[in-house]
Amino acid sequence: QKEVEQDPGPLSVPEGAIVSLNCTYSNSAFQYFMWYRQYSRKGPELLMYTYSSGNKEDGRFTAQVDKSSKYISLFIRDSQPSDSATYLCAMSAGTGFQKLVFGTGTRLLVSP
Q: Which is nearer to other proteins, 30 or 103 (CB)?
A: 103
Pairing of strands 45-51, 32-38: antiparallel
Looking at the Cβ atoms of 48 and 110, the one nearer to other proteins is 48
Q: By the criterion CB under 8 A, which residues form the site for other proteins?
A: 6, 8, 32, 34, 36, 41-46, 49, 88, 90, 97, 99-100, 102-105, 107
Q: Rounded to the nearest whole angstrom, what is the least distance from the CB of residue 88 to other proteins in the complex? A: 6
Report the run of H or E that residue 9 belongs to, with start and end.
none
Q: Are 26 and 3 in contact (CB under 8 A)?
A: yes
Q: Which of the 8 DSSP states describes residue 52?
A: S
